[in-house]
Amino acid sequence: MKKILNTLILAVFVIVSILVSYWLGQQAYSWMPAQGTAEAKRVDGLFSFLVTLGTFIFLGIVGLIMYSILTCRASEGDFSDARPDRGNPKLEALWTGIPILLVLWIAAQNFSIYQQIDIQGLTPIVHLHIPSATEPADAATIVNNNAKPVSEQIEVVAKQWSWTFRYPARNVTSTELHLPVNQSASLAMRSEDVIHGFYVPEFRLKQDIIPNRIITFTVTPLREGKYRLHDSHFSGTYFATMTADVYIESPEAYTQWLAQAAARKPAPAKNQAVAEYARRQEYGFKSNWPSVAPAKPPIVNYSS
């Protein structure tokens, strides 16, 4: 009778643990910012699974400890050792095989997500198109024979302390990143000075931008709206000012914005880092912390 009762209690505990773990895993979706891309959905799905799995393991360990405390206590004055239980092949195969399968499955899901994002650039697979006299000086078109087919190709240039985005199809440059919804876009990123980090929380993507490298990745926006791009690496005194607006909009609005931007005459963009540095020099503010002068503001058709 006691054995049946213990089995029933164990079954109830396992069922409750599964339900609680699943519930907490679903709650994990609300811990993140809104999903802006298809890749973000994959990342959140994997994160939810890890939360569910971690909760189930935690409850199982805590439950086993509490069960042992309540039911396996030695009587007062009993200092004898318990019977050793070694060499159980079935148990050892179970607690070795299950973690191996879980780790392999998680690794496969991570690899699949990276394949979807299609990050490239750490191998010599790209070359630069040298701009003509009628093109901007920084118009370096990336040619990548291994890239997946996309609807838009956009170049991203990072420097201390500004973001510049170039749309080669329309020869438009901007300090804002515009992306058409439900269409894949390839972002080719390069740095002109130090390491920067491309980070949009709603994209679930933080990609390092390394000097002397061109790194490309693919995103598929799913949710229209305005987002914020941050530099995730400390890149110097004014790195906190290195932000940019990201707009995901309908294809019609995206095409209209490109036409509007193309009609504008290129001009130096407003740059907060340059303005703060100039103010510092004007008032003769001195600090024991060395700094570098910000790069000149980029020449763009469209500025925030």
* pLDDT, tens digit, 9 for 90 and up, residues 140-174: 444 444 455 678 899 999 999 999 999 988 889 99
Determine, yes or no, domain membership for 236: yes
Domain co-membership, 197 together with 98: no
Determine, yes or no, domain membership for 290: yes
Q: For the residues 194-207, what does the mean pLDDT come to?
A: 92
Domain co-membership, 42 together with 190: no
Q: Is the pLDDT of residue 250 over 60?
A: yes
Which amino acid appears at position 149 of this protein? P
Q: For the residues 34-47, what does the mean pLDDT come to?
A: 89
CA distances from 277 to 160, 238, 289, 299, 304 (A): 12, 9, 14, 19, 20
Domain co-membership, 106 together with 211: no
Q: Which helix (H) or strand (E) holds 209?
A: strand 205-209
Q: Which domain holds residue 96?
A: 2-69+90-117
Determine, yes or no, domain membership for 12: yes
Q: Write down the mean pLDDT value for the chain.
A: 83
Per-residue pLDDT of 220-246, as tens digits, reads 999 999 999 999 999 888 889 999 999
Global pTM reads 0.76
Q: Is the pLDDT of residue 76 over 90?
A: no
Q: Is the pLDDT of residue 61 over 60?
A: yes
Q: Which residue from 186, 221, 188, 183 is spatially nearest to 202, judged by alpha carbons?
A: 221
The pLDDT value given to residue 282: 66
Which three-class secondary structure state does DSSP give residue 68?
A: helix
Q: Is the pLDDT of residue 139 over 50?
A: no
